Amino acid sequence: MAKYDNNFVDELRTRLSIVDVVGRHVPLTKKGQNYWGCCPFHNEKTPSFSVNEEKGFYHCFGCGAHGDIVSFIMNIEHVEFKTALQELADMAGLKMPTVKEKSPERVRLEDSYFDICERATKEYQKLLFEPVGADALAYIRGRGFTDDMIKKYRLGYAPKNNLITNKFGNLKQSNLLATGLVRHGDYGLFDFFRHKLMFPIFDPKGKVIAFSGRSLDGSEPKYINTTDTELFHKRHTIFGFNFAREEIYKNNRSIIVEGQIDAIQMQCHGFGETVAPLGTALTEDHIAILCKSNRNIIFCFDGDSAGQKAASRAASIVLPFVKDNSNVRFAFVTGGKDPDEVLKTGGVSAMKKIIDDATPLIDFLWNWVNQNYLVKTPGGRVQAEKFLDTEIKKITDKKLQFEYEQEYKKREFQEWRSWKKDDKPAIKLPDTDLVTKNTLIYIVNNFENIATQYADFLASLNISFDGNAPDLSWNEKQAEKFIVSLKLQRYRMALEQELKTKTQAMINGENITNEDLADIKKKITDINQKLEKLLYME
């Protein structure tokens, strides 16, 4: 049988959560660190089928069935390996690669790339602690990095000369170029990273696959990263994930910050579950990788307008991944600071408070539309509602999508309608007596769905709904019956007034016909019939 490139299978395992894949066929409940359900491969009443999200496998303690997402699809649907891969690729939104066994030459090439990156890392590490690297070492120590931190994250220094080009000159040029460490120039090869503080970039298994270099002379950009190579793709790589993987599992969440220094400082100060996107904006691939480990994510951004914009984009990206067991929140660092500065000036306790006070996703979106749309105007409210509708539709769990819709409808009713104290003074209409008003307050306070459904009508009454009202012990049907009755009565009053006005106008010789009056009388009769039916409705 032809073999698929292991990289493609690994990509499927990375992008897809085994809990989601298995959960399509088996109802699962989280207990402890694992998810449990009744085994689909043998009959049982007591769940003995366990799914481990972090390790990506399932195991039945009853019949011994064991495997990953690929073997699960093969066994549950009785299909061949290729068919299972195709189904999983469709789920992940990936195109199936050409069936091609990886050649020995391909394996040797990739191993050579890993070897070059590893050797370069060691060279950079050594130079950081030599006189030529003094400026880089002083800078990173000034940022609060201890020697232990420097060694753990394998930081180094790339000198001004062509270190890699000269030292690795005996290697094939094509191999060196493939790592992104060197480039072609007018006079031959030259080092891509020169006079830079070097941050190695690791794959999830801890192998160096690329580098990020920080400027030391004030030149822009501050950071440059290895361009995409056969080993390294920025969209698929999360800085610090190899160190954070176990901590994400232990702490039942991940924290996303904006840069690698912030990520390292957070990891070294008790927030080991912290990671950062690298050299690119946050992508769907980053979220897919993190959700495979855990669906609880805290985004930690600067509190300025750029941070708010980044947070809004992150919210839009994460919504398709949100499930009913997700806890997605947004933390903001204010005062022009970043997590690194907070840890230095306020310590771990200050950073912990920022993380603990993070705003839930549903509240963040609500706050965002209130800050960015003129919700006190009809047009602004329509724009805000359209934005929320668009975002909510990204949630793939239909029940959760419905709950978001209901929650926002309730908030729109409570906060955007005209009876709000801050909007304008309430006007008590003569026909809205105290009993009617108290009844409406009771309904608004106790039946949110009904209040939302009839929000426009309630707003038209121009009365204040603040305060409490006597308990009527009504059910939802009684409450709706009252509002419908009141709505019909007010409509009848308007028609009666219209009939009176037009009758007088006809007497005064205006162009009003008997047909016009008859039409109004028919509408009044129809309303009376509806009210009579409503009276006897249980």
DSSP calls for 101-149: PPPHHHHHHHHHHHHHHHHHHHHHHHHHTSGGGHHHHHHHHHTT--HHH
* Residue count (the chain): 538
Amino acid identity, position 420? K
Once rounded to an integer, what is the mean pLDDT over residues 23-34? 87
Once rounded to an integer, what is the mean pLDDT over residues 243-255? 89
pLDDT band at 31, cuts 50/70/90?
confident
Q: What is the pLDDT of residues 319-350, one digit of tens each?
A: 999 988 889 999 999 876 789 989 988 899 99
User: Terminus-to-terminus CA distance in the chain, angstroms?
Assistant: 69
Q: What is the Cα–Cα distance from 309 to 258, expressed in whole angstroms?
A: 13
Select 104-232's CATH number: 3.40.50.2000, 3.40.50.2300, 3.20.20.140, 3.90.980.10: 3.90.980.10
β-pairing verdict for 182-185 and 188-191: antiparallel
Please list the residues that pair with 329 across neighbouring strands: 298, 360
Please list the residues that pair with 239 across neighbouring strands: 276
Strand order in the sheet with 196-202: 156-158, 196-202, 208-215, 223-225
* Extents of the domains making up the chain: 6-92, 104-232, 237-370, 479-536
The number of CA neighbours under 13 Å toward the Cβ of 471 is 1
Once rounded to an integer, what is the mean pLDDT over residues 27-35? 87
In which residue are the tokens 């100060």 written? 269
- Residue 538: its pLDDT value, please? 59
Q: What is the Cα–Cα distance from 19 to 34, expressed in whole angstroms?
A: 9
- Tokens for 253, please give them: 């969440």
Q: Kindly tell me the burial class for residue 404, based on how many C-beta atoms sit within 10 Å of its own C-beta (0-12, 13-18, 19 or more).
A: buried
Q: What is the pLDDT of residues 395-423, one digit of tens each?
A: 988 899 999 999 998 888 888 865 444 44
Once rounded to an integer, what is the mean pLDDT over residues 209-215? 95
> Do residues 324 and 397 touch, judged by C-beta distance below 8 A?
yes
Which CATH fold would you assign to the domain 6-92?
A: DNA Primase; Chain A (3.90.580)
> Do residues 12 and 92 touch, judged by C-beta distance below 8 A?
yes
Q: What is the Cα–Cα distance from 494 to 461, expressed in whole angstroms?
A: 13
Average pLDDT, the chain: 86
CATH class as words, domain 237-370: alpha beta
pTM of the model: 0.66
pLDDT > 90: what percent of the chain? 41
Q: What is the Cα–Cα distance from 18 to 25, expressed in whole angstroms?
A: 11
- Residue 431: its pLDDT value, please? 46
